[in-house]
Structure 1
Amino acid sequence: MRAWAIAVVAAACLTVPAYALPATTPDLKARIEVLIASDQPSDPKAYLAMVQPLWDEVNATPSVDPSDYAQVAQYYANAQAENDDTRGAEATADMGMARMRAAGRGQDRQVGLLLLNKGIFQAQRGDPLAALETKKQALGFFLSLEGEEGIVRAVRCSIAFSLFQLGRLQEALGYYEVGLRDLPAEDPNPYSTSSHLGNYAIGLRLMGDYDASLVAGRRALEIARNQLPKGHRATAYALTNLATTLMEIGRYAEAEALYREAVDIAVETRGRDSYDAGTFTLYLAGSLQRQGHDEEAEALTRAALDILKAHPSETNPDTEALARLSLAEFSSNRGQPADAEAELRRALASLEPTGELGDTTRAAVRADLAGALFDQGRYDEALATVDLAVDYLRRETTPAAGERVEAESLRALILSRLGQGQAAVDTCVALVDGLTASLEKGDLAAAQASQVSVYSRAFVRCTDVALVAGQTETAFATAQRAAQSEIAATSQSLAVRAAGSTPEAAELARRFQDTQLVRLKLDRERNFARGKSKTEAARLDSEFAAAEASLSDITQKLTAVFPDFGPLSRPRPRTVDEVRAGLAPWHAVIIPLPGDDRLITLAVTRDGLTWDSAPVNRIAVSRDVTAIRASIDRELNDPAAGFDRKAAWRLGSAVFTPKIRKALKGNTELNVLGNGALMSLPLGLLVTAPPQGADTDPRALRKTAWLIRSYAVSVKPGLIPARPAMAGNAGFLGVGAPILGAAEGETVDTAALYRTGGDKDILADTEALRRLPSLPHAKTELQRMSDALALPNSRILTGADATETQLKSSDLTGYSVIAFATHGLTDRSTQALREPALVLTPPAQANALDDGLLTASDVAGLRLKARWVILSACNSGSGREAGAGGYSGLAQAFMQAGADSLLVSMWPVRDDVADRLSVDTVRRDAGGASQAEALRQAVLALMKDDTVAGSANPAIWAPFSVVAR
């Protein structure tokens, strides 16, 4: 799903709240007053049925006060609108105004309210031009009556909504910024304010201001949750608005939780086949797709499309096109551009009757259609199509806006393919300058910007454009931006922290980063707060506010003592000469970048930069990565299953072309910088020559030209200057072999181990965790590591000592090597686990500080000065989300805690193999080999050893990767 394209999918803001009619009271005025003071039921039909008798009564009463009549008309009109009868609502508003004017009271406030609501109803029924005129009349009415105080702010916001409908985004934001300035803590109209804030959040997101969008989206949801009845429609829209911004910055699991809550509200209040349920289901499908659940996501998208076609919205007539946009993306991701084109043309056809109401979505469809045409080599058609999108986006959005970035970068690539190199370069220079400025101004620059997928894709395209134009230095800079992993900023900040001008500056920098992490963790917990009590939600809100205040205080102090921290802590692309000068002998840097129609590889050696490409696009790369991972899973379950060497050869030959291999001649160690699907594999298992024999034959597997035979490989989070060597710590700490032990043959469902509570997932049953399989080799593995290193300060925590409490209470700064030999759980191994974790010995009674799981958040709070952390655990390098860099999660957390390098596993590792590889790698490292070379030698030795079951198969020998700054 193109998550940005929900700009006008938001609750129409009823400026005066509607309420339910309680039991009959003695007289009309009293019943009207009770109506005003009562809560509105979430069921719109029940609401209409309860207001109806009062409306009938005022119409049947000849002498009713005009003000009473107008007031009841207002509530009845709102009830009609809630039931999608906007034309009836507009007529009711007109009746109320006519009664007041006939009585000579045309300047009463009630007339202005009815006028405003009439404009809202016009907007709801899809006539934004009429709505805009009516609302501007209401603005003039209230300015003359009340000035800038009171309802005027809501009127401005309502005008902004109509401008959004018309695609006039910049103008709309101007109205929102004035209307939402200096909001009171307790708003008298929370429905209106929450909805307006949610729409404002959408606008900010469309402009690429993700930080501000998150702030507005959180506030909208906070108001809806705290000041509106449970299950209110405004809450559902606030949930989806916040979720969509989270989607754009790569926080898919959090977005999924919010979308599911919105779907539940829609189903409960409006029915499973309602417009709201269809729309929110569409967004939910998008979050599932981003997490790799394509089959489920496509089924939900088709179900949503059926609902939206059966229940179209006059307010948002573009939702069918949004669903078709998502379906086209599924086709594109399957490598079927012609099918995608057909779906996108159906989307455009569905937008034909919408006029200006469809302009924003029309631009998105045209941009994707241009991409489908590009994929088919129809460059002239693609350029004409993308130009239509760019014309609108340049007029109505900022250079950092996600959809504009997508369209502009695609246009540059098309121009390059058409031989218009200078025009393509000019486009990219402006684009990269704008993106760089955007990334450096906010929190996302330091934490999440690398997860904005359209930005990464734009940098890949601009790398391609610059290389074709012969501007290799520019290409190298944009390649680093494209390949920057999510832990690059963490690693950069560690270097800056270590280089702090004073111990005070270094400590403040550490506190700054720790507090950033706490704030992010609390924000995630708030997003996962579904089903928690109001008390618990209030606690999380309070702690989040405290973390923000603390971060502001630390920032002021840090800026005072270390003014360069901010600029220096953001990763900066390095020049080719800077990288060449920093390369160790026989080392080279490799940056593989899967693009729209080819895979580009940049290689930097001491001789300079070389690049080449292969006709393998990002869809094909993702498909081959999926095939390799599937063959690994099969092998782990069935040792005779074999390994998909053909897919490994396709990838290996695409990355390591003859030209690249020639440039690498004489180099034996590769530092790989990358992100995306390719980086979810240890690259040592790629194949560099056509495989011979059967994939199931151990002899053929051993003779295969695996990349690891030629090169030692380490993953770099970014090309970051070396940080000063740590001194004063020369010890080994081994942690693992927790007290566990499933009964023989027992299967433990890890998804059943958890319940949500406090600020993290707490084990519901520590005995259930204890039933995870024991690790008989783990204790001896740690002891053998200790013996191999022979460091003066060594300590091993196993069994009853391998607890969170023991670890968190220990001074860990004296250990240069820290190893964990235990189970690793990822958030994909159980839906209840919000983040990856290492299993330690559970306490007798779980609590928020010690539940037997050392989560990524727990790890990041540790203080380390380790040269190397070894994670001999399943999936310790796995990313949080599908498509994320394969070295996030626990790896990122250990970098945050202060580790220089890591040995991580990319899939479940057999206990005996983990023992063999980790100990042998440590031994060879202690003998003087580099970390990557030590792992390479250990792997080659295992591969040759036919006494180890399955040792010829990469599923057994290839799970570990070195991640090194």
Structure 2
Amino acid sequence: MAAILAREPDAGRAAVALIALTNERFAAGDLPGAEAAIAAAVQIVETRLGQEASQVGRPLAVRARLKLEQGDYDGALADIERALALLDKAAAADPVERATLIYDRARAYDFLGRNEEAEAAARASLALRREHLGPVHEKTADSLNLVANALTAQGRHAEADPLYRQVLGMYEVLYGPTDYHVAIVLSNLGNSLRRTGRAHQAAPLYARAVAIAEQANDPVLLAQCLTNQGWFLHVTGDGAGAEPAFRRALELALEIVGPDHPFTGNARANLGYALSDQGRWAEAEAPFREGLAAYEGGVGPDSPDLLETIEGYAAVLDRLGRADEAEALYRRALAIASTRLPPAHADAMDGAWKHAGFLIRRDRPDEALALVRAELGDLLGQDGRGRDWRTRVRGARPLFARQVEAGWVLAAR
């Protein structure tokens, strides 16, 4: 079919038809067919109109979205940047089209763990969509949700919370209370509540999100909602409850994207956490090992998204008596946090707490104390006026306790 459409003499019409075929093939689950169709669309426009023609931008944008769905985030970002550059050269650039490309740029940054860049891009798309589509529009709500996601990824939960509530209200008005959009933001709001110490408020949101996903018969949505619910159960100490949610999410991931996708990698690691919670350390090792390999293959070896998986794997190896391997992973996590996260990020402080505990158990309290003091220095050295500093100080209580623990061990020598 792609070869037949490519014979259309008008390049623009051929590209439009091939883009339609791409969407049709993707919806049918035919990824090779979708890739072939969009590749033909790009080639036709480039060959007939030139690589710098503004008309190349549209098939590039579609190809970028296809790459985002397949986990090729760097490839998607390259297509997005080129499409934006071509759009900027157009005599009458469409601001709505530009907003969509910038939104997709934010999604790519988000997947790659480039959280500050994701926030900036999401805010830029939000401003354009508010101006040209209005304050209550589905695409405006999508951009606002992405801003909140970027804030959450940076540990700025107090700022994300009201944005998620705005998005929830908008989605319920726009789509109704049982739409999949509502399920997504319910999970996001639940994550925000959980991370700010309001787990009792978060539990019914996760349950409602899963119920909506079940009713929608959407396996992707269900896998996402089960993952969020399972993680909530894990962090609130219910590993046995988290295990079935994580196992089902992994089964869905394998069906949807296969064994090598980063979503599947994350699903494997999550199962490792549920098994660890129950003291089943030997069973947990393989899910962490296999999950980390798949996850880093998609997001890159130094993505902050890997921190939870690396640290969970390290804890399992430590329990299995493989301390040298565990320490290498803790050091890797520390290197990622120090280079890819802003100072005193919540994930960096959590990692320092875990790493310091490992060092204390290895009878190295001096190293643990130095690590904790460095992380707390980053936090307490800030002026306290920015973002959610007070919330992060409260969240650093385990790290303060670790500092006291290391000090007592040193004093007892």
TM bucket by the smaller chain? 0.7 to 0.9
Work out which of the residue numbers 413, 419, 442 in structure 1 matches 2:321.
Answer: 419
- 2:25 equivalent to 1:221: no
Work out which of the residue numbers 177, 181, 187 in structure 2 matches 1:272.
Answer: 177
Superposition pairs of residues 51-200 of structure 1, within 5 angstroms: 105-124=8-27, 126-146=29-49, 147-181=51-85, 184=88, 188-200=93-105
What amino acid is the match of 1:108? Answer: A
1:258 positional shift? 2.4
What amino acid is the match of 1:236? Answer: A
Change (3 A) 1:385 1:437: same
Higher share in strand = 1
Q: Distance in 1 between matches of 2:35 and 2:284?
A: 35
1:143 positional shift? 0.9
Change (3 A) 1:145 1:428: same
1:237 positional shift? 1.5
Q: Distance in 2 between matches of 1:331 and 1:231?
A: 34
Q: Which residue of 2 aligns with 1:578?
A: none
Whether the aligned pair in 2 keeps the contact of 1:205 and 1:401 (CA below 8 Å) is no
Q: Which residue of 2 aligns with 1:602?
A: 406
1:381 positional shift? 1.5
Whether the aligned pair in 2 keeps the contact of 1:154 and 1:193 (CA below 8 Å) is no
1:271 positional shift? 2.3
Whether the aligned pair in 2 keeps the contact of 1:383 and 1:411 (CA below 8 Å) is yes
Q: Which residue of 1 aligns with 2:243?
A: 341
Q: Which residue of 1 aligns with 2:391?
A: none
SS of residue matched to 2:321: coil
- 2:211 equivalent to 1:309: no
Deviations 1:280-336 (A, max 9, x none): 2222222233333323322122112111222244xxx42212211222233223322
Q: Which residue of 2 aligns with 1:437?
A: 339
1:247 positional shift? 1.0
Q: Distance in 1 between matches of 2:334 and 2:255?
A: 37
Change (3 A) 1:105 1:340: closer
Work out which of the residue numbers 255, 260, 270 in structure 2 matches 1:368.
Answer: 270
Q: Which residue of 2 aligns with 1:686?
A: none
Q: Which residue of 2 aligns with 1:489?
A: 382
Deviations 1:537-589 (A, max 9, x none): xxxxxxxxxxxxxxxxxxxxxxxxxxxxxxxxxxxxxxxxxxxxxxxxxxxxx
Identity level (%): 20
1:386 positional shift? 0.6
Deviations 1:878-916 (A, max 9, x none): xxxxxxxxxxxxxxxxxxxxxxxxxxxxxxxxxxxxxxx
Q: Which residue of 1 aligns with 2:282?
A: 380
Q: Distance in 2 between matches of 1:152 and 1:184?
A: 12
Q: Distance in 1 between matches of 2:29 and 2:94?
A: 24
Q: Which residue of 1 aligns with 2:359?
A: 466
Whether the aligned pair in 1 keeps the contact of 2:360 and 2:406 (CA below 8 Å) is no
SS of residue matched to 1:258: helix
- Which residues of structure 1 form unaligned runs of 5+? 1-93, 492-513, 522-589, 595-599, 605-609, 612-659, 664-965
1:229 positional shift? 4.3
RMSD of the alignment, in Å?
3.2
1:370 positional shift? 1.1
What amino acid is the match of 2:283? Answer: E
1:109 positional shift? 0.8
Q: Distance in 2 between matches of 1:409 and 1:173?
A: 28
Whether the aligned pair in 2 keeps the contact of 1:128 and 1:163 (CA below 8 Å) is no
Whether the aligned pair in 2 keeps the contact of 1:217 and 1:238 (CA below 8 Å) is yes
Change (3 A) 1:259 1:195: farther
Work out which of the residue numbers 238, 244, 247 in structure 1 matches 2:152.
Answer: 247
SS of residue matched to 2:402: strand
Q: Distance in 1 between matches of 2:260 and 2:184?
A: 16
Whether the aligned pair in 2 keeps the contact of 1:318 and 1:361 (CA below 8 Å) is no
Q: Distance in 2 between matches of 1:181 and 1:486?
A: 39
SS of residue matched to 1:142: helix
What amino acid is the match of 2:46? Answer: L
1:246 positional shift? 0.6
Q: Distance in 1 between matches of 2:315 and 2:376?
A: 18
Whether the aligned pair in 2 keeps the contact of 1:259 and 1:284 (CA below 8 Å) is yes
Q: TM-score, normalized by length of structure 2?
A: 0.85
Q: Which residue of 2 aligns with 1:292?
A: 197
SS of residue matched to 1:318: helix
Change (3 A) 1:490 1:400: farther
Whether the aligned pair in 2 keeps the contact of 1:197 and 1:217 (CA below 8 Å) is yes
Change (3 A) 1:229 1:141: farther
Q: Distance in 2 between matches of 1:223 and 1:124?
A: 29
- 4+ long deviations beyond 6 Å: none
Whether the aligned pair in 2 keeps the contact of 1:337 and 1:372 (CA below 8 Å) is yes
Q: TM-score, normalized by length of structure 1?
A: 0.38
Q: Which has the larger radius of gyration?
A: 1
Change (3 A) 1:228 1:125: farther
